[in-house]
Structure 1
Amino acid sequence: MDFISIRLITVDVDRLAAFYASLAQTDAVRPTPDFAEIRTPRGTIAIAHARTVPFLTPAPNGSVIVEFLAADVDAVFRRLTGAAPAGGPDVVQEPTTMPWGNRSLLLRDPDGNLVNVFTPVTPAAIAKFA
């Protein structure tokens, strides 16, 4: 079995797709107005409108963090906050080196879900993602 994607359910596909496409610095693939994919070399974030899965209620998820591996998390932080208007990203934690060896930036996406952008910085963490 191979992990392929995670799907976020929202009432505003345009807004969420724009956030993740900007973060990943790629274009969103939009086969329909109710669905988008942000494809990266390691996996895909799928974004679907709530009407595609009517038994789910879109809400911020308090137990899942969407994670992105970045070459330089500090550069990502500067890019996201340096040129951002007053309504820029909701930064929960500025880049911080964690005990397990990753330098981590925590954000909230427009729906309130946590997003971790990280760069391995210790030899062990770098080896893990080599």
Structure 2
Amino acid sequence: MNLISIRIITAKVEELINFYEQVTGATATRYTPDFAELKTKTATLAIGSTQTLQFFGGDSIAQPAHNRSTIIEFLVDDVQQQFDESAAFLKTYMVQEPTLMPWGNKSLLLRDPDGNLVNLFTPATPEAVAKFKNS
């Protein structure tokens, strides 16, 4: 089994697409006005409007902007450089500036327009670098 994608259900499709395009540097593929995907080398972040819930059994199965338990994480080449180059955009979404974590990653924590936590990180210690060597 492989984790292929994470899907965010939102009432703010364009805002989320714009946020994730800016943060990742990737261009979203918009399949319909209600559904888009941002593909990375290892997984896909899907963004679906609340209208797409009809295909999964109805409006009550998911509630946009109610997540308080998940962090969406992106491995980046140099989190400090990304922060320095994008600080003007990122400050609106900032939770924590780049910080060295006890497990060896330097992490920048943001909240997307729906309030989902987003972690941009770069391995910083030899152990963390080895862990993500082939990622």
* TM-score (normalizing by structure 2): 0.89
Structure 2 equivalent of residue 40 of structure 1: 40
Moved over 6 A (4+): none
Structure 1 equivalent of residue 125 of structure 2: 122
**For residues 18 and 60 of structure 1, what CA distance do their matches in structure 2 show?**
20
Structure 1 equivalent of residue 9 of structure 2: 9
Counterparts of residues 1-130 of structure 1 (less than 5 Å): 1-53=1-53, 54-55=59-60, 56-82=62-88, 84=89, 88-130=91-133
1:77-114 CA deviation, whole Å, 9 max, x = no partner? 112214x3xx8431110000001000000000011110
Letter in 2 for 1:121: A
8 Å contact from structure 1 (residues 80, 89) kept in 2: no
Letter in 2 for 1:115: V
> Is the helix fraction higher in 1 or 2?
2
Q: Taking every aligned residue pair, what percent have the same amino acid on both sides?
A: 53
**For residues 69 and 29 of structure 2, what CA distance do their matches in structure 1 show?**
27
8 Å contact from structure 1 (residues 70, 117) kept in 2: yes
**For residues 44 and 78 of structure 1, what CA distance do their matches in structure 2 show?**
26
Q: Secondary structure at the match of 1:20?
A: helix
TM-aligned CA deviation for residue 22 of structure 1: 1.2
Structure 1 gaps of 5+ residues are none
Structure 2 gaps of 5+ residues are 54-58
**For residues 76 and 43 of structure 1, what CA distance do their matches in structure 2 show?**
21
Q: What is the CA RMSD across the aligned residues, in angstroms?
A: 1.3
**For residues 91 and 99 of structure 2, what CA distance do their matches in structure 1 show?**
19
**For residues 92 and 42 of structure 2, what CA distance do their matches in structure 1 show?**
24
8 Å contact from structure 1 (residues 107, 114) kept in 2: yes
**For residues 88 and 13 of structure 1, what CA distance do their matches in structure 2 show?**
21
